[in-house]
């Protein structure tokens, strides 16, 4: 283990968790006091567009009105995408939105299908959720991972992540290589064992092992370790100052072209849930 990078990543991760900058979107959604059916529509819209204010506005639409708005968003550059879903546009987005709309009349039924069985007391595994999500056009392995994470964090679906393998994704693998070998060249990791070794070391680090991600009541898990590794790798490359996500989500909610009552609720929840004072200490 490269102790310089490992210790730096642990300190970095602690600040992300304590400030709320780890997953500010989750804090906003969970704290907005939305009906479950609407939260499901929000998760569906967000998984397509990765733009919180637009997803919030879209979640206010039900049935055919939701599908019409999603199809318009797929076909038009006037509807923004987050960087993570920048390829969900043009013909690919139209095909994806059309596939979603053709499966179920009610958009929230898509989310029920993703977490099939879990909403009646059964606990799906990560691999089961990923398989169902990837059955839909335009949903690859990374967004399937985020859907499972969103379900567990903001829909309170008890997804079991024990069968989630870290080495599946490039960015956390690069972060793992940085902590283990001192270089972000993940091709030097001979197999997923190296990434898993780093993950377990992070989760058991004394200053992290008793922290609770917000929102939530459990201790840190593979999802949070994945985010810490991704963001630390970007931080190392000077692309991610602490607070970047929180301030960007705040700015998006304050300056959106798609204002809505839900967007206002999301903004209030974000403002209340983020430790802005802690972030300002690191911005100074």
DSSP-derived secondary structure letter, 138: T
Q: Among 104, 98, 61, 97, which residue's Cα sits nearest to residue 81?
A: 97
Nearest-5° angle of CA 257, CA 140, CA 185? 100
Check pLDDT > 80 for residue 189. no
- Would you say 167 and 187 are in contact if contact means Cβ atoms under 8 Å apart? no
Check pLDDT > 90 for residue 29. yes
Which are the contacts of 58, defined by CB distance < 8 A and separation ≥ 6?
41, 42, 45, 49, 66, 69, 70, 73
pLDDT of residue 191: 62
- Would you say 150 and 46 are in contact if contact means Cβ atoms under 8 Å apart? yes
124-135: pLDDT as tens digits: 999 999 999 999
How far is CA 112 from each of CA 61, 95, 122, 146, 221, rounded to the nearest angstrom? 17, 21, 12, 16, 23
240-252: pLDDT as tens digits: 999 999 999 999 9
Q: Among 184, 214, 232, which residue's Cα sits nearest to residue 11?
A: 232
- Would you say 52 and 245 are in contact if contact means Cβ atoms under 8 Å apart? no
Give me the residue spans of the domains in the chain.
Answer: 34-163
Catalytic center residues: 226
């Amino acid at each position: 283990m490269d102790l310089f990078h490992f210790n730096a990543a642990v300190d970095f991760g602690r600040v992300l968790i304590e400030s709320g900058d780890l997953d500010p979107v989750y804090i906003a959604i969970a704290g907005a006091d939305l009906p479950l059916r609407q939260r499901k529509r929000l998760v569906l819209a967000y998984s397509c567009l990765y733009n919180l204010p637009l997803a919030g506005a879209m979640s206010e639409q039900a049935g055919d009105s939701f599908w019409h708005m999603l199809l318009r968003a797929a076909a038009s550059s006037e509807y923004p995408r987050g960087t993570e879903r920048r390829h969900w546009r043009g013909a690919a987005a139209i095909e994806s939105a059309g596939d979603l709309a053709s499966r179920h009349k009610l958009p929230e039924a898509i989310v029920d299908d993703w977490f099939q069985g879990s909403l009646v007391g059964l606990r799906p595994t990560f691999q089961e959720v990923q398989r169902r999500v990837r059955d839909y056009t335009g949903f690859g392995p990374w967004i399937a991972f985020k859907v499972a994470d969103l379900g567990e964090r903001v829909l309170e679906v008890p997804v079991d992540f024990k069968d989630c393998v870290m080495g599946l994704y490039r960015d956390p693998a690069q972060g793992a290589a940085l902590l283990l070998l001192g270089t972000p060249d993940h091709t030097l990791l001979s197999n997923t064992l190296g990434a898993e070794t780093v993950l377990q070391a992070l989760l058991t680090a004394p200053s992290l092992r008793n922290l609770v991600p917000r929102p939530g009541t459990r201790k840190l898990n593979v999802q949070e370790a994945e985010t810490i590794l991704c963001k630390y790798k970007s931080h190392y490359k000077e692309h991610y100052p602490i607070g970047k996500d929180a301030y960007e989500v705040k700015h998006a909610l304050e300056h959106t072209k798609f204002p809505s009552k839900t967007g206002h609720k999301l903004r209030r929840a974000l403002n209340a849930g983020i430790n802005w004072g802690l972030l300002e200490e690191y911005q100074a």
